[in-house]
Each structure stands twice: as structure tokens, then as C-alpha cells.
Amino acid sequence: MKKIGIFGGSFNPIHNGHIHLAKVVKDELCLDKVIFVPSNNPPHKDDDEFESNEDRLEMCRLAIADSDGFEVNDFELQREDVSYTVYTIRHFKEAYPDDKLYLLLGSDMLLSFDTWFRFDDILKNTALAVVSRKKDDMKRLYEKAEVLSAFGEINVLNARPVELSSTEIRKKIRNNEEYSCYLEKKVVKYIRLNNLYSDGTNK
């Protein structure tokens, strides 16, 4: 039986915080691989600042190109419906029926997880793997994990938090501020070549 991580998100753009989270979970839980799954129409996001599916998918591919055990899957991008995690997990459970799935989450997502569409069904088919994205939130994470453990397996990993957000990175790009330190070099090059997230010339 293999251990497979599923990491969904808008990745708009994918940044070093995403890569850090995936590496921590892969190492701590000894996963065989982590699959990045860019979302199509995320139910909790405003799509005004969304770059195209093709651009976000390519940025994911570029970001993980030099990382062993990482891959990208376009399952959600091929769907015409809203991207609900329960359907994504069902898809990968059918694709890997004999393996154990782990859904990778940041701390903010765990704290609101019981508001997700059919969250209890998600936990029937996957364990959660949570990494803190903020300082001093471990106590809240452990408390939330204890509540959710009634529905399934919750793994809270104590790792150095990386406080990054795609929203802040997009803001820096629009304001022509330095942002390259937050992204893989290949992603920075792609954003500049295609003038993403900006009406003018990126720095």
C-alpha cells in the first residue's frame, strides 16, 4: 500500500509556502508522492483575479519540476462544475483503491473544515495532514483536530510556519514590488514572460 498526498488549491500563483507545506507532509508522513490538483471554480473564491486554468496548471508544473515525488493532475480543471473536494477525493480513491490518501491542508482550512461540503464523507476516504501557516496557532489546531477526529484521522504536523499568501503576492506584482523571493525561479520567469497579474510590466 502506498501513501499518497492530495494537495488541492487555486495556486494563483503557486508559491514557496505551498511547496514547503507539501515537503513537510511528504517527509513527516513518509508519503510516496504528493499530487497537486489546481482547482477550477473554487466555491469560496472570487474569480476576478484568477489567471487561466492553463497558466495556473503550467505554473504548478514549473514549480515542482525539480522536486522528486511531486506531480500535477488536472482532474478539477477538466470538470465543468464547482470544485468540491469530496468529488476530487472520490476520484482519487477510485484511481488508487489500494492506497492510503492524505488531504493536505493549511491551518486556516482545518479551522473551517467542518463547514466544507460533505466534510464527513471526505474523512471517510482520506486522512487529513495539516501544517501551520501562522505563528502561535498550534493550540487551536490541536483543539480542532480533536473535534474532527470523531469523523476520521487528523494529523497535525508541528513545522516551521511560512506566512505567505497568493493574494499578497498578486498585490505585490500589481504594485510593481519585488516578489521573486516568494516563488520558484521558473514561475517568476513565466509570470514575467506572460505579464500575469499585472496591467503593466512586471518587475
- Residue 181: inside a domain: no
Residue 124 within a domain: yes
Instruction: Please indicate, yes or no, if residue 34 is contained in any of the structural domains.
Output: yes
Higher pLDDT, 48 or 86: 86
Domain that holds residue 155: 3-163
Q: What single-letter amino acid sits at 7? A: F
What CATH number has the domain bearing residue 101? 3.40.50.620
Phi, psi of 47 (to 5 degrees): -90, 10
* Dihedral in degrees, nearest 10, Cα atoms 103, 106, 112, 115: -30
Domain annotation covers residue 185 = no
Asked if 15 and 186 touch (Cβ cutoff 8 Å), the reply is no
The answer to whether 31 and 73 have CB atoms below 8 angstroms apart is: no
189 occurs within a structural domain: no
User: Are the C-beta atoms of residues 36 and 60 closer than 8 Å to each other?
Assistant: yes
The lowest-confidence range among 11-15, 136-140, 141-145 is 136-140
| Count of structural domains within the chain | 1
Task: Kindly report the pTM of this predicted structure.
Answer: 0.92
Does 105 reside within a domain? yes
Residue 170 resides in a domain: no
At 98-133, the pLDDT tens digits run 999 999 998 889 999 999 999 999 999 999 999 987
Grid coordinates of 177 = 514590488
Q: Answer yes or no: is 84 within a domain.
A: yes
